[in-house]
Amino acid sequence: MPEKHCSGVSLCSNTHKLAGVIGSLFEETGLKNIIVTVYGENTIVHIETGKAVQKALRCHFPVDKCLNRQLLAEMTQADLDIQILLDQAEEL
């Protein structure tokens, strides 16, 4: 018997809608080009429509990590106090 990934129809529907919305953001921001390189054109179509929820989550996390690193790099270049705070946080 196939494994059920969602416990209810409403949960599955909402998850697919959310993935579809995030997929449309990929299209608008240009992140689609990066993800196509990693996952391929067919997979990105399923991610954008919300039909490949697990793959969508797997690609969202590294994209989020990269964007946060870029943001932190820009912030630390603009204000050295931020780098000092980050260094102190790592020591904790």
User: What are the pLDDT digits (tens) for 31-41?
Assistant: 778 778 888 88
The Cβ-side half-sphere exposure at 11, using a 13 Å CA radius, reads 5
Given a contact cutoff of 8 angstroms between Cβ atoms, the answer to whether 48 and 24 are in contact is: yes
Rg of the chain's alpha carbons, rounded to an integer? 18
Given a contact cutoff of 8 angstroms between Cβ atoms, the answer to whether 59 and 81 are in contact is: no
Query: How confident is residue 3, by pLDDT bands cut at 50, 70 and 90?
Result: very low
Given a contact cutoff of 8 angstroms between Cβ atoms, the answer to whether 43 and 53 are in contact is: no
Angle of helix 31-39 relative to helix 53-78, nearest 10 degrees, comes to 130
Whole-number average pLDDT of the chain: 76
pLDDT of residue 2: 43
In the predicted model, is pLDDT for residue 8 greater than 70? no
Q: For 52-90, how does the pLDDT look when each residue is reduced to its tens digit (9 = 90+)?
A: 777 777 877 888 888 888 888 898 888 888 888 888 988
In the predicted model, is pLDDT for residue 13 greater than 60? yes
pLDDT of residue 6: 55
Domain boundaries, the chain: 9-91
Could you tell me the pTM of the whole model?
A: 0.53
Q: Left (φ > 0), alpha (ψ -120 to 50) or beta: where does 8 sit?
A: beta
d(CA 84, CA 88): 6
- What is the percent of the chain where pLDDT is above 70? 73
